[in-house]
Amino acid sequence: MDPLTWTGSIAVLNPILLVAVVAMLIIAIVNIAISIFVTEGPQQVNADGTIAARGGIPGLMSLLLNWTLMAVIGLVLIYAALGVLMGSNAGIIGAMSQRFLPVWIALTLLFALSIIYKRNLGLYGKLFDSPIGMIGFGLVMFWVFTGIFSAFDLIVTHDTLTQISGMKNKVPGTPVRGAEDGEFGWYLLGGDNLARDVFSRMVKGAGIVVLIAPFATLFAYMVGITLGLPAGYRGGSFDTLLSFLANLILAFPVILLFYLLVTPEIVQTGLPQYMAVVLFLFPMIFAGVLIYSRYSTQPQKCYVWMAIILTPMVLVYLAAINAPGTRIDFWPLDFFPMPAGILVVFVSVVFVNSPTVFRIVRGLTMDIKTRDYVAAAQTRGEGPWYIMLWEILPNARGPLIVDFCLRIGYTTILLGTLGFFGLGLPPESPDWGTTINQGRKLLQIYLHPALPPAFALLSLVLGLNLLADGLREESLKD
Amino acid sequence: MTKQDYEGPILEIDKLSISFFTRLREIPAVMDFSVAVQPGEAVGLVGESGCGKSTVALGVMRDLGKNGRIVGGSIKFKGRDMGQMSDDELRGIRGSEIAMIYQEPMASLNPAMKIGRQLMEVPMIHQGVSEKDAYQRALQVVTDVKLPDPKRILESFPHQLSGGQQQRIVIAMALMSEPALLILDEPTTALDVTVEAAVVELVKELGKKYGTSMLFISHNLGLVLETCDRICVMYSGEAVETGSIEDVFDKMQHPYTQALFRSIPLPGADKNSRPLKAIPGNFPLPHERPQGCNFGPRCDYFEEGRCNASMAIPMAPIDGDDRHWTRCLKFQEIDWAAPMVLMDQKEKGDIGKVVLKMENLKKYYEVSANALFGGGGEKKVVKANETLSFEARESETLAIVGESGCGKSTFAKVLMGLETATDGQILLDNRNIEDIPIEKRDTKTVGEVQMVFQNPFDTLNPSMTVGRQIVRALEIFGIGDTEDARKQRMLELLDLVKLPRAFADRMPRQLSGGQKQRVGIARAFAGDARIVVADEPVSALDVSVQAAVTDLLMEIQREHKTTLLFISHDLSIVRYLSDRVMVMYLGHVVELGSTDQVFSPPYHPYTEALLSAVPIADTSIEKEHIVLEGDIPSAMNPPPGCPFQTRCRWKEQVPGGLCETEMPPVRHLAEGHQVKCHLSDEILARMTPVIKVAAE
């Protein structure tokens, strides 16, 4: 088989794309320059009372900018569509696009459904009114779907650990020597220095990030909310103590903390596991208090809900903290063995993120507790936890949702950092941080093994930030 | 820019129309609005929120933002069309010839700059005077706005002054360049009544002294009566009636003006024999205005096919009056002198046995200097409530009157159980509850003592449906055995406050202010409350809605024999609905008695000042002008002796400086009428009524 070029037979589109991108950049720069010097007049109005398009040179420029942007996006979509149809005939781009077919289908379905029903979907639906938010959401969901499908061995072309002789450090598009029928014929993004497929490793790496980052952030939120609400609501010495502890953790150098936590000697003392015992307790406390405060007037309902929600949580909790052959090994029903490395990474990420969440929640609580509806709840004799969880927390959700998105981004970068320093995860793990670290060693000769995971990390975090921006913008428009 | 001399009207607005443009549609905010302000004249602009009165002011300042545009008519300032002026010319006029004073004084002052600097900036920018001259001028103006120790004031930062002082500084700043026109946008709404009275007095005086014309924007008819020569009533973006104060107040020619006057509690209105008449319906949204007359759907004189014909209704002059115009097609047919059709008179509820009794209630707060680690440092005691004693009976309305910082909120907190009393007793049906915090009270007690809050936009949880919030209250009070029973009861409560049942599924943001307040009332009555503390329940609502909500409270009270503790600073409404009145000042009850006793002499000096400060929208009322000097002292360090002695005008009448050294005792002047004052009986007997109805 022949080596693949980047675009194969659709190379005719390349000059067009180039022209479109260059035109867009020039127009964008000119646009910015104009906006500095030209002040805009009042808005023009149509006869029917609606706002007319802006006239004059600034109006023309922004119109041009929109057109070129549309052209670029359209061209990119054409590349993807042609790739799906033509596969490896359309070069590396085409072949990759074809491999991502399940992701494209899932994304199309998700966007179509969301846009159709966006008026009934609350804040999530409003996201589809903001182009920025849509782009961000698209990027995020691309990696989420990639992560999900890669778990079912879709998308990936080769096993992430298989080394194929002769593929060491080969450039993207190199055909696999002696590929049999049913085997994929190329290393799409080349091979790394152990002759493994870079493309498959990047795709598999998405699975690890998509699994850990949101859950770790969610756990950090549970800890932060469960402690931040009473600290802000009650105040006093409880607040002073917790805030001091939070400051202490925040002041400790994060990387050093990680090094300490993953040192084998410390792992052997069981410290990360004990931390997991404490930190994983918070979601249960949160759920328990949430149910209790809501149904405390109807004990019957309260018990039923508690049983329904808490039983599975307790089972998962015990299974999660239990690991055979370590300090905590007492639970027979360990139905999912969590790899020790993942647990350590998870615990450290939750541990360093929760103080920040704590501070945000505490601040929001202190603001909202002065509202009249909180006073109204107090005067009808509501318990403090009901007020905190049902009167205050729902009204703090705006900033919290935005921060949640941003925080998944930080967590993703943190995971990359951990992998890069080889902390926690095993060295053969395909996660992006580890892969970048391995590619780094030969960076001056071979660029291709390090760049794909780096771009993946970049696009996911960028997507999360854009999503947060879009959410913030739309939530303010209410 | 040099100021040229000019004869003729300072400001002429002719058929002005202002619209805001959105992506969806054009929203007309002001339509066909004309007014002229003569030199030295004060014109009041009155209307409910959303009627476009502030938009007019912004239109004059040409500060409509990106989306707003003047779509018709003209604004002439000193005979020159402002539409023809260049940006530079406009900038020269703003702040130098036209000055504006806004509602929130703190927001108009730069918190990082000393007062003196901020004041001096004005003439230095507009007239290019030297720093020294500017300082002299600043000193002069600060003296003019009657601030004590002007030199010290110039050296201080805005946050070091009280709200009243800040507003005086804003006025001083506006006067720095001796403007020809002063626009005041609700300048006193954020201030206490007695401070408001002083500021209004000052504005009037300065207007005369400097010969400034004024455009006074307010929702308060009484305030306009006191300050202005002419008035313009606005409704839904249009001026509906304009004329001199006397003509509009006494010979009104528009149904909206009439309805407005009938919905505010003037002396003579009474909750039983002459109840207020609320304007039915709701204010139309700007893009949902009806055809023809905007007020049509809410008007008593509405005529199908005529008032809602598609043509715009022009302003019509009224013969014989000076520049008196009305926007009504039928004004010549309506018999304006016809007496108001009386609403059904209500039976006065029988006042029953004593339900609540307070005896020498005291609430002190300890404020420690170093709050971080508790303890240590010296402690200060704030006496929020000092020896409060009174009793409240079944189906009685007891009004608690006082300005901010008088301790009424603290009292409410102690009663509700959010705080425990420092000393004294609260007896609810002869049970002591002063030491029982709310967590330890049984549900029945909690349900019996409930509260209605002031701010309608804050009283409901924004992320829970209306129905859910009421059901939650029912759950907490243990009412109804099943979900369905509670739901049923919730719907009945919505009926009780006259809201459609469909509102149960709405979110609070979909409701108007008055509707939210009704939900708040429904929630308070969920546990069959016997004592309801209403903390200024209507002060944040528009006039036409106020009457409806007040009436609703009265009706529920009659039905449920509720004891209503009505906290307010608005003496007009207090006189209208309360049976007894308690006046508080700095934590002390200074006067307590039946409404008639409190509203007629002998008064406590503070009550007297309060009565004089409240603006009343009735030209036949003559008031004695008593302006209190200074501000309310801080509760952190109250003055020695009588708390009111720093502002009292009767202090000289008490021999031996007793007021400054000794706390006055409680004196019983008549059955149920008590006063805390050193004044001798004969001086008290010499007091004359503050409010007099002029002989007709």
Q: In terms of C-beta density within 10 A (0-12 exposed, 13-18 middle, 19 or more buried), how is residue B342 classed?
A: exposed
Gap between the Cα atoms of B676 and A72, Å rounded? 82
A236 touching B (Cβ < 8 Å):
yes
- Residue A326 has, within 13 A of its CA and on its CB side, a CA count of 23
Mutate which of B418, B450, B461, B565 to test chain A, going by most A C-beta atoms within 10 A?
Answer: B461
Contacting residues for B682 by C-beta, under 8 A, at least 6 apart: none
Nearest C-alpha in A relative to B481? A298
Contact (CB, 8 A) for B216 and B42 = yes
Angle at B376 between CA B373 and CA B377, to 5 degrees: 115
Mutate which of A50, A243, A304, A380 to test chain B, going by most B C-beta atoms within 10 A?
Answer: A380
User: Cα A223 to the chain's mean position, in Å?
Assistant: 19
> φ and ψ at A237, to 5 degrees?
-70, -30
B316-327 tens-digit pLDDT:
887 777 788 888
pLDDT score recorded for residue B614: 80
Query: How many contacts does A have with B, using Cβ atoms within 8 A?
Result: 90
C-beta atoms of A373 and B473 within 8 A: no
pLDDT score recorded for residue A310: 92
B605-618 tens-digit pLDDT:
888 888 888 888 77
Q: Burial code of B531-568, b = ≥16 C-beta within 10 A, e = fewer?
A: bbbbbbbbebbbbbbbbbbbbbbbbbbbebbbbbbbbb
According to DSSP, residue A391 is labeled: I
pLDDT score recorded for residue B323: 80
State the first-to-last Cα distance of chain A, in angstroms, to the nearest integer: 58
Shortest Cα distance, chain A CAs vs residue B66, angstroms = 6
Structural tokens at position B327: 């926007």
C-beta atoms of B26 and A50 within 8 A: yes
Gap between the Cα atoms of B138 and B235, Å rounded? 39
pLDDT score recorded for residue A49: 54
C-beta atoms of B25 and A50 within 8 A: yes
User: Cα B345 to the chain's mean position, in Å?
Assistant: 28
Nearest C-alpha in B relative to A395? B463
Window A:326-365, CB contacts with B under 8 Å? none
Contacting residues for B12 by C-beta, under 8 A, at least 6 apart: B36, B37, B74, B75, B76, B79
**Whose CA is closest to A288, among A248, A317, A328?**
A317
pLDDT score recorded for residue A41: 54
A177 touching B (Cβ < 8 Å):
no
Shortest Cα distance, chain A CAs vs residue B453, angstroms = 7
Residue identified by tokens 């901010």 is: B404
Partnered with residue B198 across adjacent β-strands are none
- How many other C-beta atoms are found inside a 10 Å radius of the C-beta of residue B636? 11
Contact (CB, 8 A) for B169 and B158 = yes
**pLDDT band, very low/low/confident/very high, at B676 (cuts 50, 70, 90):** confident
pLDDT score recorded for residue B1: 40
A122 touching B (Cβ < 8 Å):
no
Gap between the Cα atoms of A194 and A374, Å rounded? 62
Specify the 3-state DSSP secondary structure of B130: coil
Shortest Cα distance, chain A CAs vs residue B351, angstroms = 26
Structural tokens at position B567: 């906290």
Shortest Cα distance, chain B CAs vs residue A244, angstroms = 12
Mutate which of A372, A391, A392 to test chain B, going by most B C-beta atoms within 10 A?
Answer: A372
Residue identified by tokens 């939120």 is: A221
Residue B629 confidence (pLDDT) above 90: no
B126-160 tens-digit pLDDT:
788 888 888 988 888 888 887 878 888 888 888 88
The phi-psi region of residue A155 (left if phi > 0; otherwise alpha if psi is between -120 and 50; otherwise beta) is left
A475 touching B (Cβ < 8 Å):
no
pLDDT score recorded for residue A264: 79
User: Which residues of chain B have a CB within 8 Å of the CB of A395?
Assistant: 461-463
According to DSSP, residue A388 is labeled: I
- How many other C-beta atoms are found inside a 10 Å radius of the C-beta of residue B46? 27
B370 touching A (Cβ < 8 Å):
no
Give, for all 478 residues of chain A, the pLDDT tens digit: 788 888 888 888 889 999 999 999 999 998 888 878 766 555 555 555 555 556 667 778 888 888 998 899 899 889 889 888 888 888 888 889 989 999 999 999 999 999 998 888 877 888 888 888 999 999 999 999 999 999 888 888 888 888 888 888 888 888 887 777 777 888 888 888 888 899 999 999 998 888 889 999 999 999 999 999 999 999 889 999 999 999 999 998 888 888 888 787 888 888 888 999 999 999 999 999 999 998 888 888 889 999 999 999 998 888 888 877 777 777 777 777 777 778 888 888 899 999 999 999 999 999 999 888 998 998 888 889 999 999 999 999 889 999 999 999 999 999 898 888 888 788 888 889 889 988 888 888 888 889 999 999 999 999 999 999 998 888 776 5
Residue B2 confidence (pLDDT) above 50: no
pLDDT score recorded for residue A361: 96
**Whose CA is closest to B386, among B542, B243, B585, B169?**
B585
Highest mean pLDDT among A233-237, B52-56, B61-65, B265-269: A233-237
Specify the 3-state DSSP secondary structure of B514: helix
- How many other C-beta atoms are found inside a 10 Å radius of the C-beta of residue A352? 21
Shortest Cα distance, chain A CAs vs residue B610, angstroms = 27
B450 touching A (Cβ < 8 Å):
yes
C-beta atoms of A240 and B372 within 8 A: yes
Residue identified by tokens 């020269």 is: B92
Structural tokens at position B143: 């003296």
B458 touching A (Cβ < 8 Å):
yes
Helices (H) and strands (E) in chain A, counts: 19, 2
B441 touching A (Cβ < 8 Å):
yes
Which of the pair, B693 or A461, is modelled with greater confidence?
A461
User: Which residues of chain B have a CB within 8 Å of the CB of A123?
Assistant: none
Which of B460, B464, B475 has the CB atom closest to A297's CB atom? B475
B565 touching A (Cβ < 8 Å):
no
Shortest Cα distance, chain A CAs vs residue B26, angstroms = 5
Residue identified by tokens 């938010």 is: A133
Nearest C-alpha in B relative to A40? B66
Gap between the Cα atoms of A447 and A469, Å rounded? 32
Structural tokens at position B509: 């943001």
B335-388 tens-digit pLDDT:
777 777 666 666 666 778 888 888 888 888 877 655 445 445 566 777 888 888
**pLDDT band, very low/low/confident/very high, at B696 (cuts 50, 70, 90):** very low
Mean pLDDT on B510-519? 86
Nearest C-alpha in A relative to B521? A376
Q: Which of A15-19, A380-384, B271-275, B669-673 has the lowest mean pLDDT?
A: B271-275
Gap between the Cα atoms of B570 and A310, Å rounded? 54
B462 touching A (Cβ < 8 Å):
yes
B75-96 tens-digit pLDDT:
888 888 887 888 888 888 887 7
CA atoms B115, B121, B122, B127: torsion sign: positive
pLDDT score recorded for residue B378: 61
According to DSSP, residue B269 is labeled: B
* One-character DSSP codes across A325-356: TSS----S---S---HHHHHHHHHHHHHHHHH
C-beta atoms of A375 and B21 within 8 A: no
B186-205 tens-digit pLDDT:
887 777 777 788 888 888 88
pLDDT score recorded for residue B344: 65
User: Which residues of chain B have a CB within 8 Å of the CB of A394?
Assistant: 461, 463-464
A50 touching B (Cβ < 8 Å):
yes
B4-36 tens-digit pLDDT:
566 778 888 888 888 887 766 778 888 888 888
Complex ipTM over 0.90: no
Which of B67, B441, B460 has the CB atom closest to A43's CB atom? B67
